[in-house]
């Protein structure tokens, strides 16, 4: 079914939020990595509460969590677009997926470093 120009009407803001939530739910339902990120997020938030993080520490932890999940969502979207365009092996398809995965990887390393800097001293390490 074609998605015609006339179908691309401007949606009210609340409807756009609803589409974004549908996207997040779909990704949580289908992407193992995103399930892992949400599980880790729950654990980290618990430890943040347990150790009574200060404002600056919370800012870095939340930036690490939100950034990782947001990048993982973009990565999942890119994977879908690539799969939509081709189901054949194509070097550009590989590059697109691998570069997107690289972006997630870099931010994940940043997030791990943030976690270590904040939590290791609280564990006396
Ligand atoms: N059409 C394609 N052409 C060439 N290489 C591809 C193609 N599709 C996938 N690949 C390669 O295979 C790898 C695995 O692709 P896949 O679509 O399973 O995503 P993924 O990186 O395993 O992510 P996820 O674990 O979230 O599924 C990609 O990183 C890419 O290197």
Query: What was the ipTM of the complex prediction?
Result: 0.90
What confidence score (pLDDT) does residue 61 get?
Answer: 98
Q: Which positions ≥6 away from 30 have C-beta within 8 Å?
A: 76
Q: 65 exposed, middle or buried (CB, 10 Å; 0-12, 13-18, 19+)?
A: buried
Q: What is the mean pLDDT of residues 35-64?
A: 97
Task: Pick from 36, 94, 95, 103 the residue to mutate for probing ligand 1's pocket: most ligand atoms within 8 Å of its CB.
Answer: 94
pLDDT tens digits for 12-31?
A: 888 889 999 999 999 999 99
Other Cβ atoms within 10 Å of 72 Cβ, number: 23
pLDDT value of position 7? 62
Instruction: Give per-residue pLDDT as tens, 46-58.
Output: 999 999 999 999 9
Tell me, using a 6 A CB cutoff, whether residue 33 lines ligand 1. Answer: yes
Q: Would you name the residues annotated as active-site residues?
A: 72
Tell if the pTM clears 0.90, that is, is over it.
no
Is residue 5 annotated as involved in ligand binding?
A: no
- The pLDDT value recorded for residue 14 is 86
Distance in angstroms (rounded) separating the CA atoms of residues 11 and 13: 6
Q: Going by CATH, does the domain composed of 33-122 fall within 1.10.287.3610? A: yes
């Amino acid at each position: 079914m074609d998605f015609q120009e006339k179908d691309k009407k401007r949606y009210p803001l609340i409807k756009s939020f609803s589409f974004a939530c549908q996207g997040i739910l779909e990704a949580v339902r289908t992407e193992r990595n995103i399930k892992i990120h949400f599980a880790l997020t729950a654990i980290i938030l618990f430890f943040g509460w347990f150790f009574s993080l200060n404002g600056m520490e919370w800012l870095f932890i939340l930036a690490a969590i939100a950034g990782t999940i947001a990048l993982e969502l973009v990565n999942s979207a890119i994977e879908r677009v690539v799969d939509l365009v081709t189901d054949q092996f194509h070097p550009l398809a590989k590059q697109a997926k691998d570069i997107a995965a690289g972006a997630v990887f870099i931010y994940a390393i940043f997030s791990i470093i943030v976690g270590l800097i904040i939590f290791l001293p609280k564990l006396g390490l």
